[in-house]
Amino acid sequence: MHKPLLAHWKALKRVLRYVQGTKQQGLLFHKNTDFRLYGFADADWASDLEDHRKQITVSKSSTEAEFRSLAACVKNKLRVVPRPIINLREGGVKDVVDTKANLSNSASAVYHLSTGTAYQGGIFFLDIIFLSDYPFNPPQVVFKTHIYHCNVGTDGHVSLEMLKDGWSPALTITKVLTAIRSLLTNPDPYNAVVPGIAHLYLENKAKHDLVAGEWTARFAK
């Protein structure tokens, strides 16, 4: 930072505006030498009335409240903190939590599909990878659990129009997960990445669903 560029000054101005506008939100900023920002996430589901008032969604447990707090912290970071600041050093912005449950929950996204498809009852783990140019380009979504689906490659990558040419910075991860749920309910065999599965789906859906159900029972239970 001994030779800051215009982009750095703009980023600094944006950060200072953010700090000015959040003085009443309990945020803590440390002065340090590695130029990293720290985001602190905490929520008290049981006894803190202030937390109750700040939460926009009712949580059913302390773990859920903590996880929602962390998710909101990360979302705010991606939305507000300029990319040059995040990329100043490896690690960029560090998020700090105070519960091991939060770390376990955030280690991987878990996608539950309950009824109505061959994937009924399956628990599918996903990796959602945010690249440095997010949100201007889409995240990568990868199934870590084996799944028999014509729109999911053998490497787990999801083939979805929303994650390609149909991407917009206005789209949220909630909408991405909703689209994936829809894709599992209604596969798109005409834009498949696994032609063999797509062919079986079109020619013999009953057999396709039987095989998909067997994969679900084997890998996602």
Q: Whole-angstrom Cα distance, residue 109 to residue 161?
A: 21
Res 210: pLDDT: 92
Amino acid at 167: W
Q: Whole-angstrom Cα distance, residue 159 to residue 150?
A: 9
Specify the domain boundaries for CATH 3.10.110.10 within the chain. 109-219
Helix 205-219 × helix 195-203 angle, to 10°: 130
Q: CA 146, 152, 157, 160 torsion: positive or negative?
A: negative
Res 123: pLDDT: 85
Let me know: does 126 contact 142? Beta carbons within 8 Å.
yes
**pLDDT 10s digits, 23-61:** 666 656 556 555 566 666 666 655 555 555 555 555 666
Kindly state the DSSP code that residue 157 receives in the 8-state scheme. B
Tokens 């926009």 found at: 56
Res 147: pLDDT: 94
Pairing of strands 109-113, 122-129: antiparallel
Q: Whole-angstrom Cα distance, residue 206 to residue 212?
A: 10
Let me know: does 109 contact 125? Beta carbons within 8 Å.
yes
A 10 A CB-CB count for 92 gives 17
- Put simply, whether the predicted model's pTM sits higher than 0.75 gets the answer no
Q: Whole-angstrom Cα distance, residue 11 to residue 181?
A: 37
Domain spanning 109-219, CATH architecture:
Roll (3.10)
Residue 126, phi then psi, degrees to nearest 5 = -120, 145
**pLDDT 10s digits, 82-140:** 555 555 445 555 666 666 666 665 555 555 555 568 888 888 888 888 888 888 899 89
Let me know: does 86 contact 92? Beta carbons within 8 Å.
yes
Give the residue ranges of DSSP H helices in 94-194. Answer: 100-106, 173-185
For the record, the structure tokens of 134 come out as 């997010």
**pLDDT 10s digits, 177-189:** 888 888 888 899 9
